[in-house]
Amino acid sequence: MQNIVNFIQKTFDTKEFIPLHEPRFIGNEKKYLNDCIDSTFVSSVGEYVDTFEKEFALKVGSKYAVATVNGTAALHISLLLADVKSGDEVITQALTFVATCNAISYIGAKPIFVDVDLETLGLSPKSLKEFLENNCEIIDNQCINKTTYKTIKACAPMHTFGHPCKIEEIKEICDAWHVELVEDAAESLGSYYNNKHTGTFGKVGAFSFNGNKIITSGGGGVIVTDDETLAKRAKHLTTTAKIQHPYEYVHDEIAYNYRMPNLNAALLVAQLEQLDKFLESKRELAFGYEEFFEATDIKFIKEPKDSQSNYWLQAIILEDEKQRNEFLEFTNSNGVMTRPIWRLMNELEMFKDCLSATLENSKYLEQRVVNIPSSVRL
């Protein structure tokens, strides 16, 4: 394992502590922040919010983008836009970050867990199809769970570590079963499946700009859609459902204070200008890791077929749980930050009673996957 530590230290040209993923502010961040402060518009109204939404939509190829305070808020609103209601069910993967399931739960809906593919680390179309065929029926154009008698309103696949899942197959299955596709694209800015950007395959998609994401505003998220009605609805729901008026405060429903502040948007406009450079650096890092690990018994996770990954977090697969634990202990004790993949959602106390498909691949990956330093190199 020492040779791996040595390689990572050489790759990042330091023997100091190497974090998993740190942000890079190398462009106009300070300039735009100062401009924002001078304007006094630092909250959720300001030119940088509007600029960011337009530029982000253009970058990913959607017609509309609505900025939010974080990615979880973006996913929460995206599920509401898909008409998910309290008592409904939403299919997702057990191998995901907890925010996916939290957003479902905020509505009073319940997640159902299906397996992931070993190749993509994302939701498996085969597992999805098998679950629907074995457990569901279509009644009045709705997908009904024959076990719980509840409506399965949506499916929320997640593009793990920026590697696109087989999203076209998933969409075909969802369309056939009258299930709305809501993409959790939190980790996949800059990733494409068959030359189409992740997050744009369903009616709505959600991205995150948390401090460890490929571009960041400290927090932040965004909803993307091609549907003008949904975009207007998203902006209304994220702005406390306030009816526009020069001075009156009138709100027409219970909603959310989810709009992104102008300060955060100023950071993101500058970060978005650097995205192509960041993506290039990450791919170079990935190719270096791939070449190094080819000479070892450790598997480096490469972008899936028909995809272009942003390689947000670089990841490897160890032989078994024992080797994974030894690797985590050795690297972290030697100044190289590494992390295991998430605990499966169905193993967490609050989701133990949720329905699950057979999760063979998810369990295999949970025991073996480790993230290694993935920061953009300057």
- Position 148 confidence tier, pLDDT thresholds 50, 70, 90: very high
- Tens-place pLDDT, residues 302-328: 999 999 999 999 999 999 999 999 999
pLDDT of residue 13: 95
Residue 88 has pLDDT above 90, yes or no: yes
Confidence of residue 266 (pLDDT cuts 50, 70, 90): very high
Do 180 and 153 share a structural domain? yes
Determine if residue 46 is left, alpha or beta; phi over 0 gives left, psi from -120 to 50 gives alpha, anything else beta. Answer: left
45 pLDDT band, cuts 50/70/90, is confident
Q: Which amino acid is at 294?
A: E
Which pLDDT score, from 0 to 100, does residue 36 have?
A: 96
Both tokens of 131, joined, read 């679950």
The whole-angstrom separation of Cα 313 and Cα 232 is: 33
Given pLDDT bands bounded at 50, 70 and 90, which one contains residue 378?
confident
Does residue 350 sit within a domain?
A: no
3-state secondary structure of 170: helix
Domain-embedded: residue 162: yes
322 within a domain of the structure (yes/no): yes
Whether residue 11 is found in the same domain as residue 73: no
Mind listing the pLDDT tens digit for each residue in 202-259? 999 999 999 999 999 999 999 999 999 999 999 999 999 999 898 999 999 999 999 9
| Residue 275, pLDDT score | 98
Domain identity same for 198 and 319: no
Confidence of residue 82 (pLDDT cuts 50, 70, 90): very high
| Residue 122: predicted pLDDT | 98
Q: How far apart are CA 77 and CA 314, in angstroms?
A: 29
Q: Domain with 88 in it: what CATH number?
A: 3.40.640.10
* 205 is a domain residue: yes
Q: Does 330 reside within a domain?
A: yes
Q: Domain boundary at 253, 274, 295, which?
A: 274
Both 255 and 320 in one domain: the answer is no
201 within domain boundaries: yes
Within this chain, do residues 187 and 311 fall inside the same structural domain, yes or no?
A: no
Residue type, 157: P
b/e 87-110 (16+ beta carbons within 10 angstroms → b): ebbbbbbbbbbebbbbbbbbbebb
Mean pLDDT of 102-131: 98
Q: Collapsing DSSP states into helix, strand and coil, what is residue 307?
A: strand
Q: Are residues 156 and 190 in the same domain?
A: yes
Q: Does residue 329 lie in a domain region?
A: yes
Of 257, 274, 291, the last residue of a domain is 274
Average pLDDT, the chain: 97
> Could you tell me if 75 and 96 lie in one domain?
yes
Q: How many domains does the chain have?
A: 2
The closest alpha carbon to 48, from 266, 261, 242, belongs to 266
Residue 44 has pLDDT above 90, yes or no: no
Examine the domain organization and report whether 121 and 157 are in the same domain.
yes
Among 236, 255, 274, identify where a domain stops: 274
* Same-domain pairing of 319 and 196: no
CATH number at 333 reads: 3.90.1150.10
8 lies in the same domain as 84: no
pTM: 0.96
| Same-domain status, 249 and 325 | no
Does the pLDDT value for residue 20 go beyond 90? Answer: yes
**Is residue 45 domain-shared with residue 143, that is, in the same domain?**
yes
The range of the structural domain enclosing residue 203 comes to 29-274
Asked whether residue 349 is domain-assigned, the answer is: no
CA distance 206 to 79: 10
